[in-house]
Each structure stands twice: as C-alpha cells, then as structure tokens.
Structure 1
Amino acid sequence: MSEKEVFLTREGLQKLEDELEHLKAVKRREVAERIKEAIGFGDLSENSEYEEAKNEQAFIEGRIITLEKMLRNARVISQEDMAQGVVSVGTTVKLKDLEFGDVVNYTIVGSAESDPANNRISNESPVGQALLGKTKGAVVEVNVPAGVIQYEILDIKFN
C-alpha cells in the first residue's frame, strides 16, 4: 500500500522539520531526564511522575514517527507546479459570499498545514475541494450542514 502524498508549502515544510528537530534534540532529552528522576523516587508501581513521563515519552515518539512519515511523503508545492490563474495548493484565493457579500481570503494548503482559524484551509476540506482547479470569476457552490454557500472567486495569488 502506497502512502498518501503530503502537500506542503516551503513554509510548512520548514515548520515540520523544525518541530521534528526540536522533538529529537530537546524534548527526548527532557523526558529521559524526567524518567531518570522518577525512577530515583523508588517504587514504580505507584509513581505518578514516572507514569506521566512515560506517557509523554510515548506521545513524543508517536509524533516523531508521524512527522518522519509526513516528511518522507512530502511534496513541496512551488509556483512552477501551478497553472497561472488556477486555484491549487499554495494559492491564496479572495472569495465573495454571494448571499451576504462578505469577502474572505483563504490560503489553500495540504491537510498537514491546515489552520482554519488563520484562514489556511485544507485542499481536502469542502471549500478547498470546491475551489481547486477553478479560475478567477468562477462561482463555486459548497455544501455545508446549513445548506449551500455560493462564492465568487475575485482573485488568485501564489504565495
């Protein structure tokens, strides 16, 4: 079974690489120290510090594995990969809600970089999927739990 390709911007790739380096170089060492100290407290069967440190260690190791897998399958999106004027991963899209007239900017990113609170939406989200491949002036419909939202694409920029 082939692993899923992870789309990343250069910024997103750097962020994941930095997190991986921090986990390996700093957090592993910190948690190993905590485990060593907790062992010094004696009886491990009722040692909450030891349990907590072991749980954190498991979380860190799991995150390291996840990050390594993502980086192994990473595809960095560059401007050369994109057709001019077409919405794709790595573009920022200016949209107008046709019902309410609100204007919003969304940056389309891979799911690993998704941050809806900062208008960075995944290419796999309903809005992201509806926008991919569209051009300036197109009207897209997005099915949401409350119904259908119509957006007009006002502008497309590569970041």
Structure 2
Amino acid sequence: MDKTPLTQNGADALRDELKRLKKTERPRIVAAIEEARAHGDLKENAEYHAAKEEQGFNEGRINDIESKLATAQIIDVARVGAQANGRVVFGATLDLADEDSGEEFTYQIVGEDEADIKKGLLSFASPIARALIGKTEGDVVDIDVPGGRRTLEIVEVRYI
C-alpha cells in the first residue's frame, strides 16, 4: 500500500477535520434526516433527499480521511532538513524570486491533501515542486507552468 506523505501540520489538520465531521456534522445530518422523515412521504421530500445526499458526502469524506491517515507517512521537516544539506526536499520552505517580474514569494512543499496555493502550500506532485526538488539555494530553474514558462531563483531554503 502506498504511503501518503504529510507534514505534521497536515496530519493534525486532517485529524481535526475528521473529528469535526464525526462529532459535529454527522449528528447534525442525522437530526436533519429525522426531521425530514417526520414530514411524511419520502418520495417527494426534498429535504430528506438533500440530507441523505449530504450524509453520503460526509461519510465518504470520513472514509477518505481515515484511509489517508492510516497510510500516512508523517515527515518530520526539521529531521529531514538536517539531512538535506540545503537541498529542496518534501517539507522545505522556499523563498523564490521570479527572474522576469522580480516578484518574490514563499512556498512550502507539502502533501497533496495539504496543498493550498493561496496559503503558500505547494503539492510535492505539482510541476513547480517537481522542478525544484533536489535543487539548492542560488539555483535558477526554468519551469513550464499553465501560464507559460517561469524562471525562478531559489533565494533561501528553510526546514521549519
């Protein structure tokens, strides 16, 4: 079975979501189903069908998270960083500069379930991360992205 790489923060976030889905959402949905059932004829009861559909989505997400946590390989970023010798690896936080625009930004390379580009969390499987992994501070990398080609300089690599 394949391991799912996660940072400790990513694993904690999944555990928190799982707890919320089981302790808050599940009882709320069950109550909504019971209330809708009380309205009578289930064939034409939109509230009942909507609640049952929501229940299916909730249970599916619970199963998905439980599966990911069961196969999780939680990466200790500081420990990995101590062995990385300044290379870009899973969990590393990078300060990058776009050679063309001069724009500077920071990304952390994380697991697919943690990725959120707006928060600077970049999936290790993304084209940008794949191009950066293994490189070191000062390297300049040409990356093909959906918007075209970007030339990025790795300004700093941190393991936090």
> Which range, TM-score by smaller chain?
over 0.9
| Gaps in structure 2 of 5+ consecutive residues | none
- Which secondary structure state, in structure 1, belongs to the residue aligned with residue 137 of structure 2? coil
1:124 is aligned to: 125
Task: Determine which of 10, 13, 16 is the counterpart of 1:15.
Answer: 13
The answer to whether residue 61 in structure 2 is matched with residue 68 in structure 1 is: no
Residue of structure 2 equivalent to 1:51:
49
Give the conservation status (yes or no) of the 8 Å contact 2:116–2:122.
Answer: yes
1:89 counterpart residue number: 90
> Conserved in 2, the CA contact under 8 Å of 1:6 and 1:112?
no
Deviations 1:42-78 (A, max 9, x none): 1000001100100000000000011011101111111
Q: Do the aligned partners of 1:94 and 1:156 also contact (CA within 8 Å) in 2?
A: yes
Q: Deviations over 1:126-152 (max 9, x none)?
A: 111111111111111111234321111
Q: What RMSD, in angstroms, separates the aligned Cα atoms of the two structures? A: 1.2
Report the identity percentage.
40
- The 5 Å alignment of 1:107-122 reads 107-122=108-123
- 1:80 corresponds to 2:85: no
Query: Secondary structure of the residue that 1:112 maps to in structure 2?
Result: coil
Residues 1:6 and 2:13 are matched in the alignment: no
Show CA shifts across 1:73-114 (max 9, x none): 111111223413111121110111111221111111111100
Structure 1 segments of 4+ aligned residues over 2 angstroms from their partners:
none
SS in 1 for 2:128: helix
The runs of 5 or more residues in structure 1 that have no matched partner are none
TM-score by length of 1: 0.94
SS in 2 for 1:154: strand
Query: Matched residues in 2 for 1:136 and 1:72: separation?
Result: 35
The residue that corresponds to 1:36 in the other structure is: 34
8 Å Cα contact 2:25-2:58 kept in structure 1: yes
| C-alpha distance after superposition, 1:2-43 (max 9, x if no partner) | 3x3222111111110011011111211111111111111110
How many equivalent pairs are there? Answer: 157
